[in-house]
Structure 1
C-alpha cells in the first residue's frame, strides 16, 4: 500500500525537493535535469512539460522514452534499501533516481554519476 501512495505522487511535487537538495550542496538545477534525462531518455522540453503537468511517478517512468541501459550499474543504499536488490521494478527506478540525486549532492562528478567510467 505504501508503494501505491508513492506511485501516485505527482512527479512535479517531488522535483523541487531534488533541486533544493542539489542546490544546498552547490550543485545546479541543470545537473538535476541532466541526471533525470540521462536516466529516463526524456528531452529537456519533455521534462519541462512533465513538471508543468501533474504526471504521477508511475506514468513518469512507464512513459519514459528510453530508460538508460546503464541504470543497472547504480548500486548502494537509499532509504535503508540496496537499490540493486529492490524487487519491484517501478520502486527500483524511483530509488535509482533518488540515489543519483544523492550522489550529486555528495559531490560526485557528473561523469561518475552518469556511469561513464
Structure 2
C-alpha cells in the first residue's frame, strides 16, 4: 500500500497554515510553536532548523527528540476520524498535532491543550 501523501509533504509547507489558523482566531505563532515543541520535544532552534530544511512530515516526527508521553491523552475527532483510534503511528502523530492546533484555534486554554494536570492511566 502506498504511503499517504502527507508523509512526503514538507512540514514547512503546512506550518504557515497552522499559524494562520491560530492567528485568525487571535492566537499567536508562539502558541503554535509551543504546542509543536510540547508534542515533539524539539527546542525552538531545532524546530526552526526542521522548517528551514523543508523536512517532510514522516522525517519530522521520526527525528522528534522526545514525543510527549501525555500526547495519548489527546482525544477527539479530526477530519472525521477519532485520533485515539488511528492505527498507523506517524498518521496518529500528525493528527495529534492537527487536533492541538484545532483546540488552539477554538480558544481552549493552553494548559488544557498541553494536558496539564491530567494523568496517564
TM bin, normalised by shorter chain, reads over 0.9
Structure 1 partner of 2:24: 24
Structure 2 partner of 1:60: 60
Give how far 1:3 is off: 4.5
Q: Deviations over 1:30-75 (max 9, x none)?
A: 0000000000000000001111111000000000000000000000
TM-score of the aligned structures, taking structure 1 as reference length: 0.97
How many pairs align?
117
TM-score of the aligned structures, taking structure 2 as reference length: 0.94
Q: Are positions 1:90 and 2:84 aligned together?
A: no
Give how far 1:2 is off: 7.0
Partners of 1:3 and 1:91 within 8 A in 2: no
Mapped partners of 1:7, 1:99: distance in 2:
17
Q: Are positions 1:41 and 2:41 aligned together?
A: yes
Would the alpha carbon gap of residues 106 and 3 (structure 1) be closer, same or farther in structure 2, given more than 3 Å must change? farther
Structure 2 partner of 1:79: 79
Mapped partners of 1:76, 1:54: distance in 2:
29
DSSP 3-state at the match of 1:42: coil
DSSP 3-state at the match of 1:65: coil
Structure 1 segments unaligned to the other structure (5+ residues): none
Mapped partners of 1:72, 1:34: distance in 2:
18
